Amino acid sequence: MSNIDIIKIKEWLSSVADTYEKNKDYLTQLDSDIGDADHGINMNRGFKLVKEMINNENKESISDIFKSTGTILIKNIGGSSGPLYGTFFLNAGILSNNKENLSLSDITDIFNKGANAISSLGKSKTGEKTMLDTLFPSLDAMKESINENSEDAELFKNKVMEAAENGMKSTINMLATKGRASYLGERSVGHQDPGATSMFMLIKDLLATL
């Protein structure tokens, strides 16, 4: 059984910040192919501030950390990524209210709420070459794992990791129909989506803390 406490949540988000810093140029290169060439810069800036919040502010609950993360991302990440990622974490804050630990089922609920909130806000769905092409397959794998065995962390990690990676890579051959990439039409095919990639990194770092 895997219970995720506030220490693990802090480890997860700090790890995400480090990952985005290390991959800033890679994410920006992906974005330069089909977008504004700033995704890596923006994600690094936003999560650097999240890490500073974790290190410098005495947040006493998982919910407070998630809500603060969401607010920071909305205020400090440009373009659509700030509101989308921010909405995910604000919803996570609501669902984790009064919880000292999160179970794998709780994590699944958070991703379910977050994925649907992002879909609604962005007016998008899977198959449109966005972060949702990583997020929804990962969510489906979470649900499948919980249905098989709600307490098996290894099963959860293996299923979700495979789904997240396959989802991210599936965007390479997709035609973009949302965001700036959609302006390229057929020229968007053959490029991995930067948002799907940053979402994969976030999920991968979560799984590493379980």
pLDDT tens, 155-197?
999 999 999 999 999 999 998 876 767 667 777 798 999 999 9
Q: What is the pTM of this model?
A: 0.95
Q: Would you state the pLDDT for residue 176?
A: 86
Please answer whether residues 65 and 54 qualify as being in contact, where contact means their C-beta atoms are separated by less than 8 angstroms.
Answer: yes
Q: What is the pLDDT of residues 21-42, one digit of tens each?
A: 999 999 999 989 888 889 999 9
Kindly report the CATH number assigned to the domain that includes residue 82: 1.25.40.340
Share of the chain above pLDDT 70, in %: 97
CB atoms within 10 A of CB 97: 12
Map tokens 């947040």 to a residue: 59
Count of the separate structural domains present in the chain: 1
For residue 38, give its domain range: 4-209
Share of the chain above pLDDT 90, in %: 86
Q: Would you state the pLDDT for residue 182?
A: 67
Q: What is the pLDDT of residues 72-107, one digit of tens each?
A: 999 999 889 999 999 999 999 999 999 999 999 999
Please answer whether residues 134 and 168 qualify as being in contact, where contact means their C-beta atoms are separated by less than 8 angstroms.
Answer: yes
pLDDT band at residue 1 using 50, 70 and 90 as cut-offs: low
Q: What is the pLDDT of residues 112-133, one digit of tens each?
A: 999 999 999 999 999 999 999 9
* SS3 category, 87: helix
